[in-house]
Amino acid sequence: MIGIVIPAHNEELYLDACLRAARVAAADPALHGEAVRITVALDSCTDNSLAIVERHAAQSDQGCIIDYLCVGARNVGVTRAAGARHMLEHGARWLAFTDADTQVSPNWLAQQLSLNVDVVCGTVAVEDWSPHRDNAELLRRHFHNSYTDADGHRHIHGANMGVSAAAYLRAGGFEPLACSEDVALVEALRRNGARFAWSAAPRVTTSARCDAKARGGFGDTLLRYAESARIAATTATATGI
């Protein structure tokens, strides 16, 4: 069985699209009928996230089970770890991680598994920069010029990561960190001799949100990109470059 873990804290704006995309990936013929379980780890949600998951869970079948668990940690490391533990208890051999504001591609799971390694670290793409309003075009250009969306990259994203159950257990799982829990796991996997693929083949599209859920995460990185782009543009204008 393949497990998809999605942590969520008040993600009612994005969660439906996230789950619809995950369900398409779970039905990929390239998986040859292997069962997939999608678990949303709801962390201290006070919006309609639970209702959205329940609606999708009601449409579960034997090929793709959708369920959820509730966590009261306000901590993404704790929440991802709880989701992974839930998957391991149900016999998952492969753990695929994404985020609630992210949509995976239809062949996302198949691409991860086809790489035949212990750990897959993927890249992210952003299609809609409009949340950054006046800075949107500057940010899009800056991201395009500074982000490596190609095989051999060294980006680490909880929104696009896969790991075998055996390697995850050897590494000790996610630490209870409020940020960079994905980076800490990758370092532990390296120390334990896991085989890596730094691949751009498993595709995901994530949001350019301004209301970052985790300080220091991808959302904050985008805000730093935006500020850097604004300063660079202002400097260029002032110097006539």
**Residues 104, 36: Cα–Cα separation, whole Å:** 14
Q: Is 47 in a helix, a strand, or coil?
A: coil
Q: Show the DSSP H helices in the chain as ranges.
A: 15-26, 49-57, 76-89, 108-114, 136-146, 165-171, 181-191, 218-239
Cβ atoms of 153 and 201 within 8 Å: the answer is: no
% the chain with pLDDT above 90? 80
pLDDT of 215 higher than 70: no
Predicted confidence at residue 62, as pLDDT, reads 81
| Gap between the Cα atoms of 213 and 19, Å rounded | 19
Instruction: Quote the CA–CA distance of 166 and 143 in Å, as a whole number.
Output: 35
Q: What is the pLDDT of residues 118-164, one digit of tens each?
A: 999 999 999 999 998 888 998 899 899 999 999 999 999 999 999 99
Global pTM reads 0.91
Structural domains for the chain: 2-128+148-207 (3.90.550.10)
